[in-house]
């Protein structure tokens, strides 16, 4: 006897793995993003010492070359603050998912809005940092550190920006007559997977770029 396809809690069809189709697709996408960011981080780790060996500044940390001291360009306290802001956005995203899954639309909307505001605040910190580095003479073509740093953090910032637009489209759609439909919980949960991934990637980047000498 033929059986009808199973239906997930959010209303979408499940795969043979027991995971809803859209969620599985997001996991596959995030897996490919892990490879992408992994290659960028590996490239940074390979070349980060060569900038000091070649003596071409600005340098990421305080160094002394040929008896001359050079001040490091990285501002760890500032970036620690922006990191805290981004981590708090994961908390508000959890609240948004909880609200969507328990039919508490006001909580969901406020959670999405707060997550967007925190994401934009993080991007504001990043723009300020980039401008400061530019005034110090560091850009993509200055040295290997500048090239790998701006590519890695720039791509992450782009992902944060895409996430803000993603959440913004969902927030706008939630004000429609039918809202996000009967799959509201699934839609917001999938968006949450993307946002949490962006936060986790930044923790790795922050550790590698700022905390490891």
Q: How far is CA 24 from CA 19, 27, 30, in A?
A: 6, 5, 10
Tokens describing residue 134: 């530019």
Domain locations along the chain: 21-211
Contact 125, 81 (CB under 8 A): yes
Q: Is the pLDDT of residue 210 over 80?
A: yes
Burial class (CB in 10 A: 0-12, 13-18, 19+), 182: exposed
Average pLDDT over residues 114-143: 91
C-alpha 72/C-alpha 61 separation (Å) is: 4
Q: In terms of pLDDT, which residue wins out, 189 or 61? A: 189
Q: Count other C-beta atoms under 10 Å from residue 146's C-beta.
A: 22
pLDDT tens digits, 60-105: 665 666 666 666 678 889 999 999 999 999 999 999 999 999 989 9
Contact 167, 116 (CB under 8 A): yes
**Superfamily, domain 21-211:** Cytochrome c oxidase, subunit III, four-helix bundle (1.20.120.80)
pLDDT at 80: 94
User: Which residue is associated with the tokens 């001040």?
Assistant: 71
- pTM score, whole prediction: 0.84
DSSP summary character for residue 56: -
Tokens describing residue 103: 């039919």
Q: How high does pLDDT run on average in the chain?
A: 83
- Weakest mean pLDDT among 47-61, 72-86, 131-145, 175-189: 47-61
Task: Kindly indicate the confidence band of residue 7, based on its pLDDT and cuts at 50, 70 and 90.
Answer: very low
Task: Kindly indicate the confidence band of residue 2, based on its pLDDT and cuts at 50, 70 and 90.
Answer: very low
pLDDT tens digits, 28-68: 999 999 999 999 998 888 877 666 555 565 666 656 666 66
Give the chain's count of helices (H) and strands (E).
Answer: 6, 2
């Amino acid at each position: 006897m033929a059986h009808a396809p199973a239906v997930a809690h959010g209303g979408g069809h499940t795969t043979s793995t027991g995971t809803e189709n859209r969620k599985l697709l997001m996991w596959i996408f995030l897996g490919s993003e892990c490879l992408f960011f992994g290659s960028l981080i590996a490239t940074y780790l390979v070349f980060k010492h060569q900038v000091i060996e070649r003596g071409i500044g600005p340098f990421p940390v305080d160094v002394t070359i040929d008896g001359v001291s050079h001040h490091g360009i990285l501002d760890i306290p500032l970036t620690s603050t922006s990191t805290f802001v981004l981590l708090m956005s994961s908390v508000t995203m959890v609240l948004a998912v909880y609200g969507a899954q328990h039919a508490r639309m006001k909580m969901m909307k406020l959670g999405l809005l707060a997550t967007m505001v925190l994401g934009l605040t993080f991007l504001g910190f990043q723009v300020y940092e980039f401008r400061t580095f530019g005034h110090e003479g560091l850009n993509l073509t200055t040295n290997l550190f500048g090239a790998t740093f701006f590519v890695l953090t720039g791509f992450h910032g782009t992902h944060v920006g895409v996430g803000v637009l993603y959440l913004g489209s969902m927030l706008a759609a939630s004000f429609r007559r039918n809202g996000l439909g009967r799959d509201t919980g699934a839609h917001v949960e999938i968006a949450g997977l993307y946002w949490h991934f962006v936060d986790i990637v930044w923790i790795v980047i922050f550790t590698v770029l700022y905390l490891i000498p």
